[in-house]
Amino acid sequence: MDDNELDITSLVEKYEQMRTKGKKMYFDADEFALLAEYYNAEGDNDEAEQLVMEGLKMHPGSPELVLLKVKTLVFSELYEEALDYMRLVSDDGGVELPLLTIEVYLHLDRYDDADSLINKTLARELQMDDLYYFITEVGYLLNDVDKFDRAISFLEESMKIDESNADAIVDLAYAYEMKGNLEKAIGYNNRLLDIDPYSYDGWVNIGKLFSMDEQYDKAINAFDFALTIREDDVLVLKMKALSLYLNDNTSEAISIFEKCLQKSPDDETLYDSLLEAYEAMEQYDEMMKLIDKKEVLFGSEGILAKRAFVHINKEEFEQARELFSRIPDAEKDTLDYYMLEGELAFHDDDFIQAEVSYMKAALISEGNEDILDRLANISVAQEKFEQAAEYLEELLDIAPDFPTAKSRLAFIRFEIGSKEPFDEIMSQFADEELRALLNLLTGNEDSDFSGYSREKILIRLNEARENRVLFKNIKY
């Protein structure tokens, strides 16, 4: 019986009545399949699975029900069992069974088997609709298992057939984002907004991408548009506030974070974001008030360390040390504890202990910009200049615009005196930055090097390197 000939409404009503009255039910295999698909579409997967099991008891050879059973097993992530059931289904030459099998292979890390079946299916003389459906679905499946390069290749092929498929565009934007190609991700997100200019998710996503790409003004505009669609959405307000903060508009960021906190007082992440913003503005009294409020709502864990860091920012080291001494044992193997320990040791000129503490912190938070920055300072204090340079180079790889990192690395290269690394760091400076560096080297901020070419500036800087005059005028 053709599905189109079945009246799904009356079939569901019949099934519901029989189930309510506890009557034994009998349906054709295609009726069981249609009912199962209906409940799947309604989100009632348990009911759908029960229908498939009942149907298979009555019609054990039904390919439609076996295929549905496979789908339920895949949905439940029971991939090995799904593979066993697939042996009961004959390949009708379509793409549904291959797609299910490919999905199972991918989740079982059987990538060679998946590739072989993809190629075998593509070798068939598929109708255009089937070909489009197949390559698009394969793209989605590859994205799900983080095979982004291959996902991109299939999805871009599908876009050549239908460039208006919003789901494919979303997946392409996601794949490029995961690959770190933000320009491409933004481009595809823009295509999505061309299709639906009032897509809330589209504006939120492009705002997030612009922020990741450090295009903060565009990010803020995108978040503002999203907020016209869904007013006062806390998630978007948080992202807008973060973009404002990263764009050095800390005061407005604080205002929005405070608004978010009023709307979502139980969102612990807001307290941490607001504390960071208050710290940037040196609003230490506000930090202490917020820490007190956080303690009331979320408990005392980590609170002593947060208060101690405020005192360090205020250069109140004795108060910080007293709080540090009261931190319980259960909180001593934490990032904040080791960073606090390192900071107090650095203040006491105990550079060996400071280095040990920050190394422990680095093991907890790998690639942490602040830790790398501090380790570089500690290394310089011990005159371990090569080690300091390594830390700063790692820092610049992660955060090329980290404040003063590039110039500090230049200072170290001067001190070490090696020409090749010196030339490499000099190549990263713009002309105006080089002029400012030369001003520092001469110790005369009123010197006029505006008429110097880049080549002449580099000659002068290289002479300074050879003469090792840097630290005579520069305090690291």
Q: What is the pLDDT of residues 108-143, one digit of tens each?
A: 999 999 999 999 999 988 999 999 999 999 999 999
Cα 253 to Cα 265: distance, rounded to the nearest angstrom: 17
**How high is the pLDDT of residue 110?**
95
| pLDDT at residue 132 in the model | 96
Q: Which pLDDT does position 74 carry in this prediction? A: 80
Whether 5 shows a pLDDT value over 80: the answer reads no
Q: Per-residue pLDDT tens for 365-382? A: 999 999 999 999 999 899
Label residue 448 by pLDDT band (50, 70, 90).
Answer: low
pLDDT (0 to 100) of residue 169: 95
The mean per-residue pLDDT over the stretch 284-299 comes to: 95
Q: What percent of the chain has pLDDT over 90?
A: 59
Provide, rounded to the nearest whole percent, the portion of the chain with pLDDT above 70.
Answer: 92
pLDDT value of residue 466? 65
Is residue 287 included in any domain, yes or no?
Answer: no
Kindly state whether residue 200 falls inside one of the protein's structural domains.
Answer: no
pLDDT band for position 16 (cuts 50, 70, 90)? confident
Position 212 in a domain: no
Residue 363 has pLDDT above 90, yes or no: yes
Residue 15 has pLDDT above 90, yes or no: no
Average pLDDT over residues 224-239: 93
Q: How far apart are CA 435 and CA 159, in angstroms?
A: 50
Evaluate if residue 1 carries a pLDDT over 60: no
**Higher-confidence position of 143 and 5:** 143
Q: Provide the pLDDT for residue 447.
A: 61
Output phi, psi for 43, to 5 deg: 85, 5
Counting the structural domains of the chain, the total is 2
Does the pLDDT of residue 472 top 60, yes or no? no
pLDDT at 417 over 90: no
Q: Say if residue 440's pLDDT is above 70.
A: no
Q: Which domain holds residue 409?
A: 372-476
CA 217 to chain centre: 20
Is residue 190's pLDDT more than 90?
Answer: yes
In a domain, 146, yes or no: no
pLDDT, averaged across the chain: 87
pLDDT of 217 over the 90 cut: yes
Of 310 and 437, the structure prediction assigns the larger pLDDT to 310
- Of the residues 36, 53, 86, the one at which a domain ends: 86
- Asked, for residue 142, whether it belongs to a domain, the answer is no
Packing angle of the helix pair 128-144, 111-122 (nearest 10 deg): 170
Task: Write down which residue in 56, 71, 86 finishes a domain.
Answer: 86
CA max distance for the chain: 98
pLDDT at 434 over 90: no
pLDDT of residue 418: 66
Q: For 76-114, what is each residue's pLDDT tens digit?
A: 788 888 888 787 777 667 898 899 899 999 999 999 999
pLDDT of 445: 55
- Establish if 456 belongs to a structural domain: yes
Which of 27, 58, 86 is the C-terminal boundary of a domain?
A: 86
Measure CA 364 to chain center: 19
pLDDT of residue 458: 80
Q: Which of 166-175, 352-361, 390-399, 424-433 has the lowest mean pLDDT?
A: 424-433
pLDDT confidence bin for 291, thresholds 50/70/90: very high
456 or 419, greater pLDDT: 456
444 lies in some domain: yes
For residue 3, tell me if it sits in a domain.
yes
- 19-37 tens-digit pLDDT: 777 777 678 877 887 887 7
CATH of the domain at 3: 1.25.40
Angle ∠(20,22,24) on CA atoms, nearest 5: 125
